[in-house]
Structure 1
Amino acid sequence: MTSKRPKFSNLALIEESDVEYDLSIFALGFESRAVNLLPSVAKRTRALLALGFDHGRELAYEENKRAFSDASVRVEDGLSDREFEEVLRGHLKALDGESHRMVFVDVSCFSRFRLASIVHELFSLSQSLGAGLTIDFAYSLAKFEKPDSIRQPNTVVGPAHRAFAGWSQGGYSSTAAVLGLGYEQDQALGVVEFLQAGEVWAFTPKSPVVEYKAEVDKANDLLLSEIPPNRVLEYDVCAPTSVLATLESVVRGLGDGHSVVLVPFGPKIFVLCSLIVAAMRNEIAVWRVSQGTAIKPSDRAASHVQVGLRVAFPPQDGSSSISSNLGSQQS
């Protein structure tokens, strides 16, 4: 995947922006936060799209579906992952390159596979839109809920998407694992053992929802005790441009001697940053690790915290582009 390097900026509060979007994309799932950002963009988007799953029609699902329908959102429901990619690609192809295009994506409730597919398709789209493309990614941080203390084995371990399997193409004898830590009990440790990683780096989230920190530390205490302190980096959940810069710096330093695999547990904003870094560096892999069907569905309500990242691809033909500062706070 090759593309002009985009410019990045942290978004200001989504509801205070006056940007008009050609397309806004949401996940239709069972978490109530799935519709949290909808009112902020519904009236200033030409086409609204909610993409559903072929499972998980429980908890807040029906209420979310009604909310999308009431807002005149086009709902594509019951999609397998393969169908999701086909539908997404079809809607993105409808964006012609005659003028600069603006796309909004709420990443809060997409699975890692689907978020990887979105990043891959949008980076690919940027190559065909001569007048340029800007994507505003947004994330509703969930209210704190104490994690499930029952440990389940990882049943899904591998690349988040075929486009992010880059590490397997290298000829290095050593693998470096770069982890984003969440409060999934010992899952990060399990994937380090699976990879037999020769070098391990860990990113721990600093969140405005302060209750998360103690649980993240507790869930990863054994792993953290085995990693040198200078390889444990704290990142600000609300500053994705800083996360991108630090993550890319670490990956660049490791890339000369290792096959590098990013394993983003924790907040979706770190998942997004990992995918963007890998999209710009083809040799980097992004893995997903999951307990599969053993995961117990739980509703995640939105907190007061919203995080946004603008990814602006410049025009390819020298035509004028919108300002990267429009509706955002420059990093």
Structure 2
Amino acid sequence: MAGEIRALSERTGRKIRVGIDISSMNRTMAASLLLSVLSKASCCEAITLFYVPARFASPSLTVSPIEQVGPVLPELSGFKCEPGRPVAVVMGLGYEYGTAVGLINQLEPQLTICLKASGGDPMYDAAVSDANLGFDFGPYNVEVSDYDLRDIGAAFRHIETLVHGLVPTYRVVLVPMGPKILSAILVLIALKYFGRAALWRVARSSPPADVQADSFYVSADVDLDDVAIEKLNAAMGPFRR
């Protein structure tokens, strides 16, 4: 994608506008595409994110074991801060039954902030609560914080403020679960705090499912001055396409 953006910009003699609809992408694809586009931000007049939530469908609240926990992409996988710092996890909450609790049990972070989407279907809110055991995470130090699903900019600013308060003290692991727009938000935050916040994913077995689009969409322009573009280009080296 980066090569096509550069070629189009050179052919037209001007910067171009790029729109990315992440609604039907998996989290790895969304992160990879966003990083590829951002690596050519100098060729872009604007980069706009679009997201159409899925219409609510009652989930099957059955336990699906965590198969793997690890980086979403190599470029955003590690830390450059002191290895002795404690770990803090900032993760989205979806209605994958017991996944958040399982991840906390596995990583045993000193602090976990769980991000819960608000502003959508009330039935979704209830299903998220059921899937996460009524937000009862046992003896672990866990905080639950809402973000606005209908306002990407406000959601970014809220979550970025949380991460900003963590990076001086913790190694921060960002885990995008729940609505897919959170993946894009956490990619941008991982870039802003490059080397101090890593982007990880949770792989679990789940069959593909057909979903219906909801009746609204949200969009937001990426602030190209607020992400670590130079660090991204340096990190992408052998990964750049």
Q: TM-score range by the shorter chain?
A: 0.7 to 0.9
Equivalent of 1:188 in 100, 103, 122: 100
Distance 1:168 1:191 in 2: 23
Measured against aligned partners, the alpha-carbon deviations of 1:247-283 in whole angstroms (never above 9, x if no partner) come to 1111111111110011111001111111111112102
Equivalent of 1:308 in 191, 213, 219: 219
- Relative to the length of structure 2, the TM-score reads 0.84
Deviation for aligned residue 1:156: 2.8
Equivalent of 1:106 in 21, 24, 47: 21
Native 8 Å contact 1:105 1:137 kept in 2: yes
- What pairs with 1:92-241 in structure 2 (closer than 5 Å)? 92-96=5-9, 98-126=13-41, 128-129=42-43, 132-167=44-79, 170-221=82-133, 223-226=135-138, 231-241=143-153
Which consecutive residues of structure 2, in runs of 5 or more, have no partner in the other structure?
Answer: 226-241
Which consecutive residues of structure 1, in runs of 5 or more, have no partner in the other structure?
Answer: 1-87, 315-331
User: Quick one: structure 1 residues 302 and 167, their matched pair in 2 at CA, closer, same or farther if it must change by over 3 Å?
Assistant: same
Distance 1:143 1:256 in 2: 39
Deviation for aligned residue 1:225: 4.3
- 2:159 maps to 247
Deviation for aligned residue 1:238: 0.5
SS of equivalent residue, structure 2 residue 194: coil
Native 8 Å contact 2:9 2:15 kept in 1: no
Distance 2:123 2:184 in 1: 22
- Runs ≥4 residues deviating over 6 A: none
CA root-mean-square deviation: 2.0
User: Quick one: structure 1 residues 196 and 228, their matched pair in 2 at CA, closer, same or farther if it must change by over 3 Å?
Assistant: closer
- What pairs with 1:26-65 in structure 2 (closer than 5 Å)? none
Native 8 Å contact 2:77 2:198 kept in 1: yes
User: Quick one: structure 1 residues 269 and 224, their matched pair in 2 at CA, closer, same or farther if it must change by over 3 Å?
Assistant: farther
Deviation for aligned residue 1:200: 0.8
Native 8 Å contact 1:172 1:257 kept in 2: no
- What pairs with 1:2-81 in structure 2 (closer than 5 Å)? none
Distance 1:225 1:288 in 2: 20
Distance 2:107 2:221 in 1: 33
Matched to 2:219, the amino acid is G
How many correspondences in the alignment?
221
- Relative to the length of structure 1, the TM-score reads 0.62
User: Quick one: structure 1 residues 188 and 117, their matched pair in 2 at CA, closer, same or farther if it must change by over 3 Å?
Assistant: same
Deviation for aligned residue 1:120: 1.2
Native 8 Å contact 1:120 1:279 kept in 2: no
SS of equivalent residue, structure 1 residue 178: strand
SS of equivalent residue, structure 2 residue 217: strand
Distance 1:173 1:222 in 2: 30
Q: Which has the larger radius of gyration?
A: 1
- 2:238 maps to none
